[in-house]
Amino acid sequence: MKKLILLSSALVVALSGCGKKETSTSEPSGGGGKSVSVGFSQIGAESAWRTANSQSIKDEAQKRGIKLVFSDAQQKQENQIKALRSFIAQNVDVIAFSPVVETGWEPVLQEIKQAGIPVILTDRAVDVSDPSLYATFIGSDFVEEGRRAAQWLADKTGGKAQIAELVGTPGSAPALDRKKGFEEVLAKYPDMKIIKSQSGDFTRAKGKEVMESFLKAPDAKQITALFAHNDDMALGAIQAMEEAGVKPGSEITIVSIDGVKAAFEAMTAGKLNCTVECNPLIGPQLFDSIDAVLAKKDLPRRIVVQEGVFDQSKAAAELPNRKY
């Protein structure tokens, strides 16, 4: 049966032509015995956060002498599904992936289950009815990140703000959850309102483009704050504000999420007010979980990454410590 599934998966992969880039393979550093192989399907390279996340995973595989088949889906779910099928065809020991959106994974996860390959989710969750389709999910609490951003803004503005929101990729877990957490806190502050909201797809270029359109709108002057679902979009928006003659960080208070180095630099320059940390350096936790899954040890269903909140008052001291 397993052979049949492998054969049909190989056929699907061969026929599909694979639009994704299966770029890097970290080979084991040597030694005897059968080496462990892991297939990892990454979303893309849309942000500085994502680049740091990919590097953390590649570095850890290299360090542990694990064969990593790494595939970049260029932010397309169909490319991720092709990659997952190609991992089945290659009969890897474990499959891990960071799903670009929450829904649409059940059929391919069922194929992986039938092939007897354990799955670990990283960074983003999936919406599936069968909980046995993955062993564990390692990632941040995105709802809490949204809450922290809103609470910081409420404290900073005394509960008064007309907010423009730059939303992440539509249908993605961080976009849905950060919005949910942010609005949950906003509900306690009647004078804080989201007056504009649009997706900037988690990229700097799109964040800039959408902010430009917000600033051209007839009611642009009403915007007193910006909530960007990630630092890259906030950094693009800062550029748009400066080009439009608006002072980021003073005329418009800006809070975003991730905590990348460039965000700390923007804070020390007074252009960004606060970043809520979302830690991408989860390579060690991923490979610890892979070890556990292969040793048939019990794993918690959810492994939450610990994170903090940094505003301008902490930025200069923290900048030299930032690893991503």
Contact between 87 and ligand AHR (CB under 6 A)?
no
For the chain, what percentages of helix, strand and coil (3-state, to nearest 5) are there?
45, 20, 35
The minimum distance between CB 173 and ligand AHR, in angstroms, equals 7
Binds ligand AHR by CB under 6 A, chosen from 120, 226, 255, 278: 278
The minimum distance between CB 16 and ligand AHR, in angstroms, equals 26
CA distance 64 to 29: 8
When the beta carbons of 66 and 142 are compared against ligand AHR, the nearer one is: 142
Q: Which of 302, 217, 215, 207 is nearest to 262 (CA)?
A: 207
The minimum distance between CB 140 and ligand AHR, in angstroms, equals 7
Binds ligand AHR by CB under 6 A, chosen from 258, 279, 290, 310: 258
Contact between 174 and ligand AHR (CB under 6 A)?
yes
Contact between 122 and ligand AHR (CB under 6 A)?
no
Q: In what order do the strands lie in the sheet with 302-304?
A: 21-26, 67-72, 37-42, 94-97, 119-122, 136-139, 302-304
Contact between 146 and ligand AHR (CB under 6 A)?
no
CA distance 192 to 186: 6
State the binding string over 202-231 for ligand AHR (x if CB under 6 A, else -).
x---------------------------x-
- 208 backbone dihedrals φ, ψ, rounded to 5°: -65, -45
When the beta carbons of 9 and 99 are compared against ligand AHR, the nearer one is: 99
- Which window, 47-55, 183-191, 213-221, 300-308, contacts ligand AHR (CB under 6 A)? 47-55
Contact between 49 and ligand AHR (CB under 6 A)?
yes
DSSP character string of 76-120: -HHHHHHHHHHHHHTT-SEEEE--SSSSS-HHHHHHHHHTT--EE
**The length of the chain, given as a count of residues:** 324
CA distance 285 to 303: 9
The site for ligand AHR (CB under 6 A) is made up of: 46-47, 49-50, 123-124, 174, 202, 230, 232, 257-258, 278
